[in-house]
Amino acid sequence: MSIEKLGVLASGRGSNFQAILEHLELGILKAADVSVLITDNPDAQALEISDRFDVPHQIVNPQVKENKKEFEHEIHKIFDKHNVSLVIMAGFMRILSPFFLDKYEEKIMNIHPALLPSFKGLNAQEQALEYGVKVSGCTIHYASEEVDSGPIILQHPVPVRENDSVRSLADRILVFEHRMYSKAIQLHVDDRLEVIDGRVKIDYGDGWKEEWDEREKTFIEHQKKSWEKDEVFRGVWK
């Protein structure tokens, strides 16, 4: 069986990156491996995570590059060297240009902390609270030229509570981001996704979903243990 080589792009905290690595470590996410992490931020916490999980990393500083194309060319060169076949944007704070997107057509995934097409761009959770929606959530999609656009792979709803702060809503959404990203990756790796006219068709046949849900129980347990002390997460688990 061939192994999908993941190349992760992250600019900050890297909790989604970590959740993917945990899924791999727990044997839930199969036939995949993270080959390299690239960040545009020398202070990204994601760098510590890559060290902890023994994943090679590289910092590509956009300021020292002449232009966006140079910057993306550098990223492509590194991914190529590591035989990356699927690009994972995990809190990457830059917009990729067609130059880069064309090299990985329907092979770049992004995660967004809202139910797209609502609340694109920065501060999605704050936008949701300000608008007063009663349900928000997260979306995993293939990347396209426009910010937070492209064929939607998975979404998960999260109810908005009357007393939610940006932090509490963001954290409750994060619980599901951490679960759903690996699921979307596994669907891609298992060749269960087909993009038809900009829409993603998912093949859940032969008990795929049941099998995934069974494996995912281990991650949910792990998540509960790591976070049960944090009061934001109390009551999330129903």
Interface pick for ligand GRF out of 49, 55, 75, 90 (rule CB under 6 A)? 90
The only residue of 32, 55, 87, 111 in contact with ligand GRF, by rule CB under 6 A: 111
Nearer to ligand GRF, 112 or 215 (CB): 112
Whichever of 30 and 156 has its CB closer to ligand GRF, that residue is 156
Active site residues: 112
Does the protein bind ligand GRF through residue 94 (CB under 6 A)? no
Stretch that binds ligand GRF, among 14-22, 27-35, 100-108, 195-203 (CB under 6 A): 14-22
| Long-range CB contacts (within 8 A, 24+) of 219-222 | 219/19, 219/22, 219/23, 219/26, 219/28, 219/178, 219/179, 219/182, 220/179, 222/22, 222/26
State which residue, 22 or 177, has the beta carbon closest to ligand GRF: 177
User: In this structure, are residues 73 and 44 in contact, taking their beta carbons and an 8 Å threshold?
Assistant: no
- How near is the Cβ of 112 to ligand GRF at its closest, in Å? 5
Q: Which of residues 158-197 bind ligand GRF (CB under 6 A)?
A: 174, 177
- Where is 75: in which H helix or E strand? helix 68-81
Interface mask toward ligand GRF for 33-72; x: CB under 6 A: ----------------------------------------
The 112-141 site mask, x for binding ligand GRF (CB under 6 A), equals xx----------------------------
Please give the Cα distance from 58 to 203 (Å, whole number): 35
Q: In Å, how far from its chain's centre is CA 171? A: 15
* Nearest alpha carbon to residue 36 among 15, 57, 5: 57
Burial class (CB in 10 A: 0-12, 13-18, 19+), 127: middle
CB of 92 to ligand GRF, least distance (A): 7
- Which 3 state secondary structure label does DSSP give 214? helix
Residue 174: how many other CB atoms lie within 10 Å: 22
- Footprint of ligand GRF (CB under 6 A): 10, 12-16, 90-91, 111-113, 174, 177
